[in-house]
Amino acid sequence: MTEMTMARRETSAHPLVLVSYKLKTFVEFIGQHGAYFILPLILFTMLDVFGRKLTGTWFDAQLWLVENVSPMFQSTMLQEMEWHFHTALFALVLGYGFTRNRHVRVDLFRMHMQTRAQAVIELAGTMFFMIPYTIVVIYFCGIFAYDSFLTNEISASLVGMSHRWVIKTILGFGLIVALASGIAVWLQAILVTFGPKDLRFQLMTLEWPEDMGGGVEGYQRMVLAEQETDMKKIGESGKG
């Protein structure tokens, strides 16, 4: 075990770190299981596409499924199922993507900054933008789902799905998970910005100074590309 690993284990028991890890565990549990919605999404999309493509041939597959299996195989129903599964998939993995630092970033300036400066930007971004915005959206999404439940909202189509409040509730729950991920990153940004310099723990969206550029994304990828270009130039000059 290296000294760095030991130091990180010794200092990772900070209360805010533990809370951050608990939130991350919850977010990633939901995200990992929510990702399975991709399977029914693919299935229903394929059924819809192939069913419509085979309509009008000597064998109408979609009509046969509707008459012999379930009315659920009607094109309108399948398309609405696609929308619902896509919404569930997107909502439940939104927070997971943030804790794993997989959302799109425009790092033209941040990528060249030191860890503490990056943490200040992360702190301001989560505290003034992500967390307040997500809370507002959760509030209105709650009203959205509750009204849908009270009115027993159904599809605008006569052959569409019922119980629209279910998917609206899932959307709201996904936003709550995203809020938890934002709070987890916010707590870490607070510790990196204002905590002791020797404090070490596993970061989500930042890198410690000694690990700066150790990933395969962002700055490291640019450095590798520049090195590859330099090596090609050296090779070409050697041939000349």
Q: What is the DSSP secondary-structure string of 18-59? A: HHHHHHHHHHHHHHHHHGGGHHHHHHHHHHHHHHHHSTTSSS
Tokens 């987890």 map to which residue?
Answer: 184
Burial of 134 (0-12, 13-18, 19+ CB in 10 A): buried
Give the span between the Cα atoms of 91 and 239, in whole angstroms.
55
pLDDT band at residue 3, thresholds of 50, 70 and 90? very low
Task: Kindly state the percentage of the chain with pLDDT values over 90.
Answer: 52
Those residues with Cβ within 8 angstroms of residue 229's Cβ, 6 or more apart along the chain or in another chain: none
Report the amino acid identity of residue 137. Answer: V
pLDDT digits (tens, 9 = 90+) for 166-212: 999 999 999 999 999 999 999 999 999 998 888 889 999 998 888 87
Q: Which of 84, 85, 74 is nearest to 47 (CA)?
A: 74
pLDDT band at residue 224, thresholds of 50, 70 and 90? low
Q: Is the Cβ–Cβ distance between 55 and 66 less than 8 Å?
A: no
Average pLDDT rounded to a whole number, residues 77-86: 91
pLDDT given for residue 61 in this prediction: 67
Number of H helices, E strands in the chain: 9, 0
